[in-house]
Amino acid sequence: MTIRYLRPAAVLLAFVAIPALAQQSEPPHPTPIIQTPNQIKWAGPATGSKHVTLLGDTGKPGPFITIADWASGLPSKPHYHRKLRTFIVLKGHWDFGWGTKYDLNAMQALPEGSVVTVLAGGIIYDGCKQAPCVVETVGDGDDPEFMVDENGKIISR
């Protein structure tokens, strides 16, 4: 067969194949998940800090969104996660420190609307010295917390 005969066949194939390739199936259109405040199932003691997972599972790979409603008290000790996390202060102020030196006086009181992104391996300590303090966390699950000493070395569990 010569090129002269292949050219019309190629043009015909392009007219048939290109539209067929362009037609992709319509994606699913799931119904939104709506939770009013009285429908949210908080976990934790009645008088202490509470938390809720709104999306995903913190113990499994994949995205998650949680909200913590902190009670007043001592912040966490220095720790890190192996994956990036982003925190958004929804209500009150959130006390936030970083580095291996556990210095409660050096913590920043981050106001409502503050956003903090902690890169993988970033050492932080956080909490709520004075309630109210509601913080949203967005991250990737299956990411345990590693407590560290003043040298940044993992404290055995």
* Structural domains in the chain plus CATH codes: 43-147 (2.60.120.10)
For residues 17-44, give the mean pLDDT: 82
pLDDT band for position 132 (cuts 50, 70, 90): confident
pTM of the predicted structure, to 2 decimals: 0.78
Selection from 45, 42, 95, 103 nearest residue 73 by Cα? 95
Q: Greatest CA span in the chain, whole angstroms? A: 85
pLDDT band for position 41 (cuts 50, 70, 90): very high
pLDDT tens digits along 114-128: 999 999 999 999 999
pLDDT band for position 53 (cuts 50, 70, 90): very high
